[in-house]
Amino acid sequence: MNRRDKSFVIGGLIVALIIAVLAPFLASADPDGLESAAEKILLVEETEPLFEAPLPDYLVPAWGESPLGGVVSIVLGTIIVFLAMVGLATTARWFKPGNNSDT
Amino acid sequence: MHIPDGFLPLLQAAIYYIITIVALYFALNWAKQNLDEKRVPLMAVLAAFIFAIQAMNIPIPWGTSGHMVGAALVAIIFGSPWAAVLVLTVVLTVQGFFFGDGGITALGANILDMGVIAGFTGYGVFTLLKKLNLWVAIFIAAWASLFVAAIAVAIEMALAGTFPIDLGLFFMGLYHAVIGVAEGVITVIAILAIQKARPDLLPWTNKDTAEVEK
């Protein structure tokens, strides 16, 4: 990676993290399109999730509804997604025939 | 439009998983052939941006909100819908397993709707319209990606017996026709920002990638 690429990646990450920090304060708490439709027309019983996520609804359970839990969750998620994407894309490239030779 | 657990019978959920795994196989093949070293971090930054902006729900009328999906954005920047499949697979998997956003049983369907269907719709519409005007094409492609994905969800919900078909299509279509405007605006702004900072990263200003994408 050259310097321009590096500064683009860092700049992009900063933008993503700023959005992550602001989201819990700015985001609408109203149900989303699918939830809203479900409230009106759902034909089946709602069920509990099959799997208890560690940070359900982008909140830290121990901190209740505190927006700080939202900030921690979304910042953490942003970083996890970044690293997972690097991991998946790098792994895919490993299988390229005759790799390591491209720039 | 993340489908939760309980909205899909397990057999149907399994079918969507299988379709998604086949799509993921093609997406990984695309990455193997087309992702060069400098575009791996670009893809990762885009994935991080999309995760963050998906948490930013924008209010729309009717006491409802919506957020961007980002599949058209990725497909247009990388010049391939397979890139959108890869990015949305990572975003939706992290959302499901860490944050309970979208059910684990519905993850296959969610990747199919917001990755495969949104990515191919966005890419297809952009390819059809880009000759007319680049920015209009980007806006309409992003709008259509969200709208068509929402229609796909409504059809899946009807097949599952979870929503009635007529009202499901009406409400999902209505809400996402509005949310799609936000998708279009944010997609245009994001691509404008990249065009300003690094025009060489975009397929229409980079002759090398334009050839590879053929």
Tens of pLDDT, residue by residue over B67-88, are: 999 999 999 999 999 999 999 9
The span from the CA of B155 to the CA of A62, in Å, is 38
- ipTM of predicted assembly, 2 dp: 0.92
Please report the pLDDT score of residue B211 as a whole number.
47
Please report the pLDDT score of residue B214 as a whole number.
40
The span from the CA of B112 to the CA of B95, in Å, is 15
The single-letter code of the amino acid at B119 is G
Task: Inform me whether the pLDDT recorded for A99 exceeds 80.
Answer: no
Given a contact cutoff of 8 angstroms between Cβ atoms, the answer to whether B123 and B141 are in contact is yes
Q: Which residue has the higher pLDDT, A50 or B192?
A: B192
pLDDT band at A103 (very low <50, low <70, confident <90, very high): very low
Task: Inform me whether the pLDDT recorded for B19 exceeds 70.
Answer: yes
> How many percent of chain B have pLDDT more than 70?
96
Q: Which residue has the higher pLDDT, B209 or B180?
A: B180
Q: Does B169 touch chain A (CB under 8 A)?
A: no
Output the CA–CA distances (angstroms, integers) from residue B63 to A26, A39, B26, B54, B153, in the order listed: 16, 11, 39, 18, 20
Task: Inform me whether the pLDDT recorded for B210 exceeds 70.
Answer: no
Task: Inform me whether the pLDDT recorded for A90 exceeds 90.
Answer: yes
Q: Which residues of A touch B59 (CB under 8 A)?
A: 28, 30
pTM of the model: 0.93
What is the average pLDDT across B153-167? 97
Q: Which A-chain residues 16-75 have CB contacts (< 8 A) with chain B?
A: 16-17, 19-20, 22-24, 26-34, 36-38, 40-58, 70, 73-74
What is the average pLDDT across B145-156? 98
Which of A57, A81, A88 lies at the smallest CB-CB distance from B48? A81
Please report the pLDDT score of residue A47 as a whole number.
86
Which of A27, A49, A103 lies at the smallest CB-CB distance from B100? A49
Which of A16, A93, A103 lies at the smallest CB-CB distance from B52? A16
Given a contact cutoff of 8 angstroms between Cβ atoms, the answer to whether B141 and B76 are in contact is yes
Please report the pLDDT score of residue B5 as a whole number.
95
pLDDT band at B208 (very low <50, low <70, confident <90, very high): low
Taken in order B24, B29, B32, B34, the sign of the CA dihedral is: negative
Task: Inform me whether the pLDDT recorded for B58 exceeds 90.
Answer: yes
Q: Which residues of B touch A30 (CB under 8 A)?
A: 57, 59, 63-65
Detail the DSSP E strand segments found in B56-187.
58-60, 64-66
What is the average pLDDT across A77-101? 86
- Other Cβ atoms less than 10 A from the Cβ of A29: the count is 9
Q: Which residues of B touch A43 (CB under 8 A)?
A: 161-164
Q: Which B-chain residues 101-140 have CB contacts (< 8 A) with chain A?
A: 101, 103-105
Please report the pLDDT score of residue B27 as a whole number.
97
User: Dihedral angle at the C-alpha atoms of B152, B153, B159, B160, nearest 10 degrees?
Assistant: 160
